[in-house]
Structure 1
Amino acid sequence: MQLLDEAEIGLRLSVITPLEEVEAAAAGADRLILEFDAFRDGRGFSLAAILRERGYKGRLIAAGKLLPDQARHLRRTGFDAVELSPGADKAAWTRMDQAFSAVYQPANDVERPIWNRRTLRPVPPSDDLDALAADLNARYADADASEILAATMDPRLGLRTAAISSFGAESAVLLDLIARENAATPVIFLETGQHFLQTLQYRGELTQRLGLTDVRVVVPNAEEKASLDPKDDLWRTDADACCDLRKVRPLARASAGFNALITGRKRFQTSSRSQLLPFEVVDGTLRINPLANWAAEDIETWLEARDLPRHPLSEQGFASIGCWPCTRAVQSGEDARAGRWSGMDKTECGIHFGRRQAVGA
């Protein structure tokens, strides 16, 4: 996080400004300065977190009555810089940003609060997960998605479970099922920086509609991105490397605290998924596929029965939606995922292969 000795020019709002007004103003601003009117006023942190969650990409600057102790949480909630008051000790700000090895409050990043860590059981060894997956497949091979999710979230299994969601064309079904079971289930969204704007808007709509309370927006490592894809065009020359940078590596970091991940994959989507089981182990993590045996008709039936909102691009023929450079609408008779990486020798981004296979190690 940048420490500024001088004030920047830009839209400047008090943190007491209503959220609706802040959002409206931010929509047309490439930088936004939030003025904290009191040291104990936490509304600025909330505003920053919500703006980032809802897709604001501009520069966020904190100003006003702030303390060095707040440096780390300012960064974690989405601020890019802090305007230091005259005479402020810059060294203290830098030191406090790195002073603690753990955090107490949740934020927009992937750091897990210490109170949450203390309640976790040890991660079972990979061999135990393999045996567990085999046992669960034997018992739930033909079970419906709700049964699979309920079994997965049974506390007696000792699993630390999160979901992965692209908030794509069919994501509403899985997220609805998860919300019905436990709306506080962490949902990891890989913000590649190259999503369709409609996807980001849809993420906000679904999150609110389903009452999801722990959607985690995960971005690529800034240093890796600056080194490997400074012009945001790596997809043109090496789509696998682009996916590794923007999806595989961020997911590896974001999922480090979990030993079970729920996915929305289905057998009908592509021939490479035709043998998909409800439970599998990838890189020492249990992967749960509650919709593995669902057909396209089942998805449509659930969407209609539950009156769930559709992704805005679905009506334009996008059956599977990823990043805009590598996604097109599908034609009649094509696989649901035929529009992904069209014309390339590639059908998956790599997050379901496992870290080693994805990067070719």
Structure 2
Amino acid sequence: MRLLEPTVPGLRLPVSTPLDEVEAAAGSADSLVLEFGAFRDGRGFSLASILRERGWTGRLVAAGHVLPDQARHLKRSGFDAVERPAGDDAGPWERMLAAFDVAYQPAADETVPAWRRRAAEARHDPETLAARLSAEAGEAEPLDVLRAAFAVPGLKIAALSSFGAEAAVLLDLIARTRPDTPVLFLETGQHFLQTLQYRRTLTERLGLTDVRLVVPDAGERADLDPKDDLWRSDADACCNLRKVRPLARASAGFDALITGRKRYQAGTRQALEVFEVLDGQLRINPLAGWSAEQIEDHAVARDLPRHPLVSQGYLSIGCWPCTSAVAEGQDARSGRWSGVDKTECGIHLGGRLVPAV
């Protein structure tokens, strides 16, 4: 809606004019100014709504005794502009028009009510939603990526975190955006003690209120890894038991998962998208495009606690049997499954419920 200085050209009628006379006048006019005689007079809103409902498409201007508090109601009733006295401050009007972007009822304007938006979003399949979010926020800063995802009505979102070497950056962004986001931590039973301590420290420091420990199925663990040494003979089967299957079960109730993956971490992640679909579930990777320097700069600027093992050369931290320190010049994930032809645990490779054997 535009804010205009007086006097706006066009046919002028008081809001006390009978509807049939207003309609007759509007039929031969391209522009109509409705003059309010009192702030409390609602007849102008009714006239505007009826004109729009009956198909009149000319320019409709509100004039006279109207207040900035009424700006949004004027717009929703069908007014295109407001005539303001010369020198009248436009600021209050503009602030009122910008204060709300959600409507709950249909009206004469084109604003889509919240319930229709939710219904429309519910009909979006993950591929469509990923494409839309990529177009809107695929090149945005991580904080704006999260805000765009959280703004999707009805979308159930959780975050996945290893509480590893760089986990603090993503969790800090989540805490600043929506601290009650469920955070899934795969408690494999094989973590470094430092990781478990770090999880508690970071959770308290950032004010995360819903960190969930996701554990392997006790029966599967007893059958497949009774001695807790499956990692020695079959690392893939161990990851399947302790990570892939538990995450598939824990994430089944969510539409989307936020991860902390970045393109620079390994050659296998160089084509990583900010929004992607994996096994019918939206994956959100806000930090995909950030460099190691940007991660470090953010951690320093926010004074985030560091994982205790980082200072010892562990740049990507998982379970203790399959994690080693990284040599200078190697990529961050070269210390994972060192000496084995394996680069991922499987939770980011697809196949949400891999067979146990």
Task: Output the amino acid matched with 2:273.
Answer: L
| 8 Å Cα contact 2:220-2:356 kept in structure 1 | no
Q: 1:142 aligns with which of 127, 133, 139?
A: 139
User: Which stretches of structure 1, 4 residues or more, deviate above 4 A after TM superposition?
Assistant: 120-125, 356-361
Structure 1 residue runs without a partner (length 5+): 1-119
The match for 2:40 is none
Query: Does 1:235 find its partner at 2:231?
Result: yes
Query: Does 1:327 find its partner at 2:323?
Result: yes
Offset of residue 141 of structure 1: 2.3
Question: Residues of 2 paired with 1:312 and 1:194: CA distance?
Answer: 17
What secondary structure sits across from 1:330 in the alignment?
A: coil
Change in 2 beyond 3 A, CA 1:337/1:273: same
Offset of residue 355 of structure 1: 2.2
Question: Residues of 2 paired with 1:357 and 1:335: CA distance?
Answer: 29
| 8 Å Cα contact 1:265-1:289 kept in structure 2 | yes
Taking structure 2 as the reference length, the TM-score comes to: 0.65
Offset of residue 164 of structure 1: 0.2
The match for 1:312 is 308
The match for 1:225 is 221
Q: How many residues align?
A: 240
Question: Residues of 2 paired with 1:284 and 1:296: CA distance?
Answer: 30
Q: 1:350 aligns with which of 346, 349, 355?
A: 346
Taking structure 1 as the reference length, the TM-score comes to: 0.64
Task: Output the amino acid matched with 1:245.
Answer: L
Question: Residues of 2 paired with 1:121 and 1:174: CA distance?
Answer: 30
Larger radius of gyration: 2
Question: Residues of 1 paired with 2:140 and 2:242: CA distance?
Answer: 34
What secondary structure sits across from 1:281 in the alignment?
A: strand
| 8 Å Cα contact 1:190-1:218 kept in structure 2 | yes
Offset of residue 349 of structure 1: 0.5
What secondary structure sits across from 1:280 in the alignment?
A: strand
Question: Residues of 2 paired with 1:147 and 1:245: CA distance?
Answer: 35
The match for 1:249 is 245
- Cα RMSD (Å): 2.0
Query: Does 1:132 find its partner at 2:129?
Result: yes
Query: Does 1:298 find its partner at 2:267?
Result: no
Q: What are the Cα deviations for residues 51-78 of structure 1, in whole angstroms up to 9, with x where unaligned? A: xxxxxxxxxxxxxxxxxxxxxxxxxxxx
What is the 5 A alignment of 1:192-207? Answer: 192-207=188-203
| 8 Å Cα contact 2:248-2:353 kept in structure 1 | no
What secondary structure sits across from 1:322 in the alignment?
A: coil
Change in 2 beyond 3 A, CA 1:301/1:256: same
Q: 1:286 aligns with which of 254, 273, 282?
A: 282
Q: 1:263 aligns with which of 255, 259, 265?
A: 259
**Percent identical across equivalent pairs?**
66
Question: Residues of 1 paired with 2:166 and 2:229: CA distance?
Answer: 27
Structure 2 residue runs without a partner (length 5+): 1-117
Task: Output the amino acid matched with 2:131.
Answer: A
Q: What are the Cα deviations for residues 195-223 of structure 1, in whole angstroms up to 9, with x where unaligned? A: 00000000000000000000000110000
What is the 5 A alignment of 1:87-102? Answer: none
